[in-house]
Amino acid sequence: MEPDVQLVQRCLRGDGSAWEELVRRHTRRIYNLCYRFTGNAHEAEDLTQEVFLRVYRTLGSYRAVHGGFTTWIASVTRNLLIDHYRRSRRDRLTDSLEEVLPVIEQKESSAPRPDQSAARGELSQQVQRALLQLSPELREAVVLRDLQGLDYKEIQEVLQVPEGTVKSRINRGRIELARLLEQMGVRPSPA
């Protein structure tokens, strides 16, 4: 398989097939990152398109010496996700209290009881529900590490934070996620 760096070079020379290969190779990864962060399929789809549009426009700024293409595209995605999160949080804050209250009640009542959860959904959906209850800082760290498979150094490049902060966020995010899953009655056995 041709390395991403060479595909990028071909793209910059105007080779359309190289761009198509890059898109096909990374769409699933970016879509998963967006979906795990937002928990919404439509938003994930729109954000994935937005990511590739931005990558297409700024491909010339990618430098292989600063890291892998996967890390670079993850950084682009992460910046867009944070922008999206801030926008949606601002929208939520501007909602009136009357509109927000029923949603909170509905969320609380829809939380599955431990005896029901095992039979109710797949692990993937339970993980997704738990992820959405994490703060964005902890959520992105766990998603990048455990669902995207990036190592600590790569996550440090994506988040642009010190190594100690990366370790701390990953650890706290995992512990919080495990606690939430335990509350849901999910106790996966180690493989």
Partner 1 sequence: MSWTCEHVEQRLSEYLDRLLTPAERAEFAAHVQACPRCRPRVEHLGGVVSALHRLAPLEPPPRLVQRILEQTSGAEAARGWRRRLPGWLLPVFTPRFAMGAVTVMIAFLVLSQALGISWSQVSLADLHPSHLYRAADRRLNLLYARGVKFVNDLRVIQELQSRLQPATPPEGSEPQELPPANKQSEQPEQRRQNHADEILHHRMLLAYFGLTLQNGTGLPPGRIRP
In whole angstroms, the minimum distance from the beta carbon of 28 to partner 1 comes to 6
CB 60 within 8 A of CB 14: no
For the segment 122-151, give every residue that binds partner 1 (CB under 8 A): 123-124, 127, 142, 146-147, 149
12 binds partner 1 (CB under 8 A): no
Residue closer to partner 1 by CB (options 31, 62) is: 31
Residue closer to partner 1 by CB (options 118, 147) is: 147
Long-range contacts of 81-86 (CB under 8 A, 24+ apart): 81/33, 81/34, 81/37, 81/38, 81/47, 81/140, 82/136, 82/140, 84/38, 84/43, 84/47, 85/37, 85/136
CB 37 within 8 A of CB 140: yes
163 binds partner 1 (CB under 8 A): no
Residue closer to partner 1 by CB (options 31, 71) is: 31
Label residues 69-83 b or e (16+ Cβ within 10 Å = b): bbbbbbbbbbebbee
Interface segment toward partner 1; rule CB under 8 A; list 13-21, 71-79, 97-105, 153-161: 13-21
For 143, residues 6+ apart whose C-beta sits below 8 A from its C-beta are: 33, 36, 37, 131
45 binds partner 1 (CB under 8 A): yes
Enter the DSSP assignment of 30: H
CB 48 within 8 A of CB 33: no
The tokens describing 170, both together, are 């990953």
Q: Which of 9, 27, 165, 183 binds partner 1 (CB under 8 A)?
A: 27
Residue type, 115: D
189 binds partner 1 (CB under 8 A): yes
Interface segment toward partner 1; rule CB under 8 A; list 71-79, 93-101, 106-114, 177-185: 177-185
Q: Which of 9, 10, 23, 118 binds partner 1 (CB under 8 A)?
A: 23
Binding site for partner 1 (CB under 8 A): 16, 19-20, 23-24, 27-29, 31-32, 35, 41, 44-45, 48-49, 52-53, 56, 123-124, 127, 142, 146-147, 149, 152, 167, 170-171, 174-175, 177-178, 181-182, 187-191
